[in-house]
Amino acid sequence: MTKETAELPFEEALAQLERIVELLESGDVPLERAIELFQEGMQLSHLCGRKLDEAEQKIEALIEEDGEFVRKPFNPAADGKGET
């Protein structure tokens, strides 16, 4: 992954990934270029995944317990009952 790619904001990386997918799905790309685009797309996909993981770690949910709000780590697998 290039330094420029690693520093892309999530939204830009995702937009580039979407453009690559559209190009590859069109079928109008020569094989060598398709391989290059695929490799670039995989790097962008990993970058987006890493950025989402980092964001998830920073999110804290405010949960009301006994009339007070308590900070708890974000847990998307929780059943919504405030359990982590």
Split the chain (84 residues) into runs of 10 and give each run's mean pLDDT.
Answer: 78 97 95 97 96 81 69 67 48
Q: Which of 47, 55, 61, 39 is nearest to 15 (CA)?
A: 47
pLDDT of residue 30: 96
Q: Return d(Cα 65, Cα 83) in angstroms, integer.
A: 11
Instruction: Give me the amino acid identity at 52.
Output: L
| pLDDT at residue 72, rounded to an integer | 73
Architecture of domain 3-58: Orthogonal Bundle (1.10)
Contacts of 3 (CB under 8 A, 6+ apart): none
Domain coordinates in residue numbering, the chain: 3-58
Count CB-CB contacts under 10 A for residue 56: 12
Q: From CA 65, how far away is CA 69, in angstroms rounded? A: 6
Cβ-contact 60, 74 below 8 angstroms:
yes
